[in-house]
Amino acid sequence: LTAALAVEALGPERVHCVSMPSRYSSEATRSDAQRLAENLGTDFRELPIGAVVGAFESTLAQSFAGLEPDLTEENLQARIRGVLLMALSNKFGWLVVATGNKSELSVGYATLYGDMAGGFALLKDVFKTDVFRLARYLNDRAGKELIPATIIERAPSAELRADQLDEDSLPPYTALDGVLEAYVEQDRSREELSQDGFEPDVVERALALIDRAEYKRRQAPPGVRLTPKAFGRDRRTPITNHWRG
C-alpha cells in the first residue's frame, strides 16, 4: 500500500522498491515483492541480507556465547534492512518511506532503527485493518491487481523467525484495532472498554503494550494525520509509567 500510494503521488519513475530477503523470507514473499513492483512499474532491486546477518552474528558470537537466540537476532534483521535503505538514501538522495501502520506503532510492534527508519511514515495514522481495506480499494478502483491479492490475503508476518505470525505476539488485528481506536482516539478508560464489550484479555494486553511503547513513538518519523487523534502532538503520554499509578 505504501508503494502504491507513493507511485500515485510521485509517479513510478520516482519510486524505488527494495526487497531484502533473509533465510526466513518465503518464496511467496519474494515473488510477491517483485510482482508488486512490476504491477506498479517501479524500479526494483533485491538485496539479500543473509551474509550480512551472518557477519553480525559472527561479530557478536563471543558476547552472546551460551545464550539462546531470541528477539535480539530477529531485530538484527530489521536493523540491517534499515541500514541498507539509509545507505541507498544517502547515495542517491532518495527519501526512505517507512511502512509501519498505526496498529503496529500503537503496540510497539516495530523495531527502532529498523522498520521505523525513514524520513516519512505514510501509514502512521492508518490501522492495520484499514490498510487491508485501502489495498483492496486501490485494486478495485484500478480494475486490476496493483497490489497482488496474495499480499493482502496472507496472514501478517514479520518473517524474522521460522513460521512466525503476528498473532503469535498480538491479538488478531480485527479484535485489536477496535480496542486501539477506542483507547487511543476516543480516550476510553480500561473500565469503559470492558463495559463496551471488548474481550478483557485483549484490553489488558493492548493497553499494557500501548503504554510501554511511547518511547518508540517519540522516535518515529513524521507522517500524515488522518484521524481526529494521531500519535505525536495529538496524543502524547509520559515515557515513564509512574503516572499510571
pLDDT digits (tens, 9 = 90+) for 22-73: 999 999 999 999 999 999 999 999 999 999 999 999 999 999 999 999 999 9
Can you tell me the distance from the alpha carbon of 151 to that of 36, in angstroms, rounded to the nearest whole number?
A: 9
Work out the mean pLDDT of the chain and round it to a whole number.
Answer: 94
Predicted confidence (pLDDT) at residue 234 exceeds the cutoff of 60: yes
With H, G, I as helix, E, B as strand and everything else as coil, classify residue 239. Answer: coil
**CB burial of residue 214 (10 Å; 0-12, 13-18, 19+):** middle
The pairing of strands 16-19 and 43-46 is parallel
Region 203-230: mean pLDDT is 92
Query: Residue length, the chain?
Result: 245
State residue 242's pLDDT score. Answer: 66
The angle at the Cα of 169, spanning 164 to 175, to the nearest 5 degrees, equals 115
Determine contact, residues 23/7, Cβ cutoff 8 Å: no
Determine contact, residues 184/210, Cβ cutoff 8 Å: yes
Determine contact, residues 168/160, Cβ cutoff 8 Å: no
Across the strands, what pairs with 120? Answer: 97
**CB burial of residue 233 (10 Å; 0-12, 13-18, 19+):** exposed
Look at the block and give the residue holding cell 491479492.
Answer: 149
pTM over 0.85: yes
